[in-house]
Structure formats: C-alpha cells, structure tokens
Amino acid sequence: MKRLSMFLVLTLIIGVFFTACSKSDNEKESKESDKESSSETKKLDSKEETKKAVKINYEEVKPNESGKVMVVMFHNFVEEFEAQEYDSGEYTTTFDDFEKLLPNLYEKGYRLVSLNDFLKNDIDVPAGTIPMIFTFDDATSGQFNLIKSDGKLKANPKTAVGIMEKFNKEHSDFGMEATFFVNLGVDTFEGKGTLAERLKYLVDKGFEIGNHTYTHINLKDTQSSEEIIKEVGGNQKKMSELIPNYKFNTFSLPFGAPTVDLIDDVVKGEFEGEKYKHAALMEVGWDPNLAPVNPEFNPLSVHRVRASGIEPVQADLAWWMDNISREEQFVSDGDPDKISIPQDKKGNVDESKLQDKKLVVY
C-alpha cells in the first residue's frame, strides 16, 4: 500500500513538472511569436515610413520624369594610351580618368540604373537625382578581368568593374549597374578563370550582359539573312551554353551600323534551335535618349552618349555635362510608382506608357 501511495505521489509530481514545463514552453513560443509579429509590424511600419518619406516639395525638387537620360557608351580602358590605326583616343579612357569620373557624376547628382529597368520605365533613384546608364561594348579586358587573390577569383582593381566596386563601397547609393555587350566568339574579358566564370561573376554582381554579335561583324555590310542569324543567334547559343537559361534582352549594333533590310533578323530569330529576342537596340552615341514615357521613345533605336576619351570630341560625355541643363534631364521624384512632370512638359508624356504608375502634374 505504501509503495502504491509513493508511486501515486511521484506520478503527481512528474505530472506537475511536465505541465509547468509545457506552460513555460508555450509562454516562450508565445513571446517569440509576439517578437516576430512585432518585428514584422516594425518592417511594415518602416516600409510605410519610407513611402511617406517620398513626399517632396515639388517646387523645390522640380522633378521632371519626362526628361532625357544619358545612356553612356564605354569601350577601351588603359593605364597609358598609345594611338593606334583604329583608335586615335576618342574611344579609350584611362583608369585614372574613370576614377575621377565617378565622384564627379556622384557630386552632380547622377545615379546609376540598369538598362532593363530604364526600358521598363522602372526607374528608382532618390528624389532630385538624375538617372544614368552605363553600357560597355566589346568585352575588353580593361573593362573587366579576373585575377587570383588569396586563392579566389576577384575583379582586377585596375579595371572599370574594379574601380566601380571600390567606389561603391563608399557610395553604395551611386549604384553598381551596367550592361556589358559581348562578342563570345573572340577574346572576352581576357584574364584568369574560364569564360563561364568571368560571365557568372558579372551576373552574380547584378550586371547585365547584352548581345553584340558573335564576332563583331558589321551588319551594314552583311547581305545574308543566314549570316546575321548565325552571328546574332550564335552569340545567344554560346551564352546559353556558358550560363544556362540566360537570355540577352538587349543588343548593341557593332560600329553603330544597322542593317536596314534585315533588321528583323537582329531583333528576333532562331539559330540551331536557340531562339533570341531583343527588346532594345543600342546605337553609337551622340546624344541623350528620350524618357520611356515620351511619345517618340523607340527602344529599337536607343541613342547613347560616347564616354569621354583621351581625345575629346563634340557631344561626348564631358561636352554634354557642360551643355545639357538640369531642366532638360530626367529628374526623379523619388517615388517609382509615380511619374512627376512640370505643367509645361505634359506634351512629353504618352499616358498609355504609364502602365500602373500615377501621373503627377504640378
């Protein structure tokens, strides 16, 4: 009988212990749940505060999201320049000049956006700043190459990408956006690593890769539809082999020369079972491009501004920075869900291109 009583008491004590533990665990879970809920609420509140913070003084900021945007075209980057038959210096930038350019653009209020976001009219930069797009043609090693450091592949600091990475560490709000137009049938970002590793490095960093034909042919001199499809589609086919499922969305015309009669083969087609389609074609630069909401905006004829080279030329980037007014350019309202324009710019907006964005006229 005593043994039975002791057993019952012990059972009762154990039951009370587990009940208390269970209660404690439930209270802990409840507190954790409350913490998570509170954290989510804070996140939502933060987002709401961000949205509220977008409110601006229109007369002070003077946004104009129907203004022009500079799509800058870079080619060669070198430490020191020696004139060559095909380049007197107007297409070549020194690393030193590029290092000086970035803070200059930043101080003047420019911020980088991706080419594809521009084409989609999805421009998201702070209020009062001006979007700018970087494009790089020909995939030269001065633009980007990999080196081995501490057993890892890294961007060579003496390249445009390396310089952008360094600047971005101190000015992350400037942006790390650019499109590299590549010819995968010739030397591409020559350096360490495989070609696939080089391209993957850029993609992983958020850069975009565009089509520039397989071997940089002059489309204007090409009379054969088959040759164009082979060059354009062959480049896409090679890209798909190197990075599966990666599709070029934009195309840069080699030498800036379009093929008038066969342009449809450049825009879309199929080569050896590989389909391709480009939403936009880049021309060789001479002026800023129209905003995506402009009635005359044509993605199949995107104008670019030539980067300032060793040999200055009229209508290069430095020239435009001295000659284009703030009023002519796209000045952001800081809210990607709105398109804000002055009253006198209303004719520069095709409302059918607004998509789901709200038009604000002040």
- Output the pLDDT for position 81: 86
Rounded Cα distance between 133 and 120, Å, is: 13
Locate the DSSP E strands across the chain.
70-74, 76-78, 92-94, 110-112, 130-137, 146-149, 152-155, 179-182, 208-211, 250-252, 268-271, 274-277, 280-282, 305-306, 338-341, 358-361
Question: Is the separation of the CB atoms in 63 and 341 below 8 Å?
Answer: yes
Predicted confidence (pLDDT) at residue 9 exceeds the cutoff of 80: no
213-216's contacts with Cβ under 8 Å and 24+ in sequence apart are 213/183, 213/254, 214/183, 214/184, 214/185, 214/238, 215/183, 215/185, 215/186, 216/138, 216/183, 216/186, 216/254
* pTM for this predicted structure: 0.85
| 3-class SS string, 74-110 | ECEEECCCCCECCECCCCEEEHHHHHHHHHHHHHCCE
Count how many residues are written for the chain.
362
> What are 261-306's pLDDT values in tens digits?
899 999 999 999 999 999 999 998 799 999 999 999 999 999 999 9
pLDDT computed for residue 53 by the predictor? 54
Whether residue 165 is predicted with pLDDT greater than 90 in this model: the reply is yes
Q: What integer is the mean pLDDT of 42-69?
A: 72
In this predicted model, which residue has the larger pLDDT, 169 or 355? 169
Q: What is the pLDDT of the chain when averaged over all its residues?
A: 88
Q: Give yes or no for a contact between 213 and 219, defined as CB atoms under 8 angstroms apart.
A: yes
223 band by pLDDT with thresholds 50, 70 and 90? confident
Question: In degrees rounded to 5, what are phi and psi of residue 102?
Answer: -60, -50
pLDDT of amino acid 88: 81
Instruction: Give percent of the chain above pLDDT 90.
Output: 78
Categorize the per-residue pLDDT at 45 as very low, low, confident or very high, splitting at 50, 70 and 90: very low
pLDDT of residue 84: 75
**Would the pLDDT of 19 be above 50?**
no
Residue 309 DSSP code: -
In this structure, which long-range contacts are made by residues 27-32, counting pairs with CB atoms below 8 Å and at least 24 apart in sequence?
none
What single letter denotes the amino acid at residue 31? K
Nearest-angstrom CA–CA distance, 222 and 214:
14
